[in-house]
Amino acid sequence: MPGESFYIATPIFYVNDVPHIGHAYTEVAADVLARWHRQRGEDTWLLTGTDEHGQKILRTAVANNTTPHDWADKLVESAWKPLLETIDIANDDFIRTTDARHEEGVTLFLQRLYDDGFIYAGEYEGYYCVGCEEYKQPSELVEGTGEYAGQLVDLIHGRPVEILKERNYFFRMSDFAERLLDLYESQPDFIQPESVRNEIVQFVKQGLDDLSISRSSFDWGIKIPWDDSHVVYVWFEALLNYITAIGYGVDDEQFERRWPAVQLVGKDIARFHAVIWPAMLMAAGLPVPRKVFGHGWLLVGGEKMSKSKLTGIAPSQITDTFGSDAFRYYFLRAISFGQDGSFSWEDLSARYQAELANGFGNLASRVIAMVLRYRNGVVPEAGDLELQDSAIRNAAETATQLADGAIDRMAIHEAIAAVWQLVDELNGYITEQEPWTLAKDPAKAARLDTVLATAVHGLGALAVLLAPVLPKATAKLWTALGGTGSPADQPIHRAYEWAGSGRVSALESGLFPRIEIEETEGSVA
């Protein structure tokens, strides 16, 4: 609530390729949560960034006849930072693992763990997946088919693994199994959703091995401070971005202000964030994250979104036709947050037309047009409220409370559904009250005033509540409603108490222009 700190971090994304809508889904979810908490008046910080070290990046760069640093620079500037603009992300920071601040923080952290006896030298041999940058257990591998027949392949990427034997440095992760299980039991909501939590708990109950945290077979990474013939294992280093970005070891005041964070990740990397990461923090004597939420996958044709499997869809393929607001709305409304969800152009187009264009957009246009036509743009004072009028005002308060509560549970889809109930009730209210009929009878002028005032009040509450999800459309609507500042400035937990100037102005063009389905399929499929 107001005055509290809320720090939310997305995973940092590999720069071996350009982003697809699976990456954008994570970014949008984190952004909506951050915007909501900002509107509560909380001290909010949203971090995202890129993961630029490791064998996978090195091989990608070599394959493209360049250096890994030049490859990372190119991808960050041409693809990953532009993604944030494409889908309207209001991040507070963007960290790259090649940043000097990150390398400095990683070096300090490693040295601390080494000095305290949590890191030792040893030898390891196992199946290594370059795509995951992770050693795999036999249970995580299957026999390949087709071109990979006769080879063991990784379940996630479907690519052959390599047998890797190295003298490495190890983190004593096995020491933390009981402490982790105690954490999961004492804080049942530390890992969400429940399906991910259950999987993690069962994994840790089987016992933990020590973790190999260095590589000597290649040199693209941060050097081990006491042995520069080794670089830090990319995952061990990358996880530290969440604290190096907020001043770990350098700016204690900033670090204390921000940490701990809510970690929003895809479920396939929840184990790193809910097992390895808190164990690392425990070893360093630091607080564990506030929460780890492993959301589901976006599926295309029944498979996880993937560039390597040619199922990746660029976000701009959607935003170029439907706009960034529709992109943001669709993925958070159509998919129960935390579960897998299937994407289809048909469902996107149908929801755009029915819910955004016909539902919310048409509601806004009708209400403002009627105030302009019947009252010359002056929002009238409401007279005596009838049951239907009181029901709408109560619905605005109920939607606010339900949505705010859903956000606390990370149930973004439920928050939007609660707000959309108000959209539907307002549309029904206008259809039932027929202000266009009331306007024909001078004796019903007072009743018309009440209906228009009630509709405008409900519409303003919607502008405030939907600002985190539809920032462009709600800003446009807010201006037409005579609101001061922007809807994002309004306290979202009291959205139903908003007040405007008392005048509306024309809503230039619709909030969501109609798009013909035939045209959509021809232009973006």
What is the residue whose two structure tokens read 């921000």?
258
Q: What H or E segment, with its residue span, contains residue 291?
A: strand 291-295
Q: Is 132 annotated as a binding residue?
A: yes
Compute the CA torsion angle 44, 49, 53, 56 (nearest 10 deg): 130
3 state SS of 139: helix
Q: Is 20 annotated as a binding residue?
A: no
Q: What H or E segment, with its residue span, contains residue 295?
A: strand 291-295
- Residue 213 tokens, joined: 């945290």
Cα separation values, 228 from 119, 221, 231, Å: 15, 11, 7
Nearest to 30 by CA among 46, 43, 52: 46
DSSP state of 128: E
Report the sign of the C-alpha dihedral through residues 359, 361, 367, 373, in that order: negative
Q: What per-residue string of b and e applies to 188-197 under the rule 16 or more CB within 10 Å gives b?
A: eebbbbeebb
Where are the strands (E) in 20-65, listed by range?
43-51
Q: Is 457 annotated as a binding residue?
A: no
> Do 261 and 9 meet the contact criterion of CB atoms below 8 Å apart?
yes
Distance CA 9, CA 247 (A): 15
- Neighbour-count burial of 282, counting CB atoms closer than 10 A to its CB (0-12 exposed, 13-18 middle, 19+ buried): middle
Nearest to 18 by CA among 84, 65, 79: 79
Distance CA 184, CA 291 (A): 11
Distance CA 239, CA 277 (A): 7
Q: Binding site for Zn(2+): what residues are annotated?
A: 129, 132, 157
Q: Binding site: what residues are annotated?
A: 129, 132, 157
